[in-house]
Structure 1
């Protein structure tokens, strides 16, 4: 039973962590194209994929419960769980919120004047919204990169099992 659960844990990690770690970067493309709908779709998918990684955690808990060697107090397990929880919070809380605000600012930057198509109502407000969009790009890249590194760190910890048995 232990081997089966560990195999499912690893399979789930391979199939689910990659997309969860990479999907937030699609929002940067939406920012570049000033496509608020794409940004919203990516935010929703980021939240969904982040939540689906809980399947990996569930298999990990099952593996630990059926293991004779490893426990929750094992240092690499504790570190892995902590790092995973931080990455999960980034994926399900921070990134979708930033993407939501970015989509709103993209729309504000492209508010059209009723007299002339495709011109902003207030050029200063449009410039401010455009600057906010650029700030969101930096935040998305930083937090998306951090989540990617954290997921990779968890994978390394799981494979190497450092810090004692």
Structure 2
């Protein structure tokens, strides 16, 4: 199942895509395909950010009338424009025990951050610390002329 939301923005057009895949209990989700997908989207399609998560659910993607466990982050990917806005040094050195994989061109790389295999709920804490670190870098690199006054 997939959804696509297109929004006009002052900078142009923004696309938000959600893709959901279902797997049976005896099937293993192909987590090894996430990084190659991230690379293709970043280098060929202008990916800004991508969050990949995993959760136990029904294979047919229907939702039962009761609460189920929430998804758990597997990876986070920043496109090259986002890396440039944050600063390459800041983006390469998250305040976590993980090393991002560089995707694409060495001069303007995208970065892919592995957060786990979708089974450890502490990955939410890692994602929260990562995004705070990246947002701090974006604020430090922001053009003061583009900042809005309160």
Settle same-fold status: TM greater than 0.5.
no
Compare relative contact order (CA 8 Å, sep 6+) and give the higher one, 1 or 2: 1
Higher normalized helix content (fraction of residues): 1
TM-score normalized by the length of structure 2: 0.34
TM-score normalized by the length of structure 1: 0.31
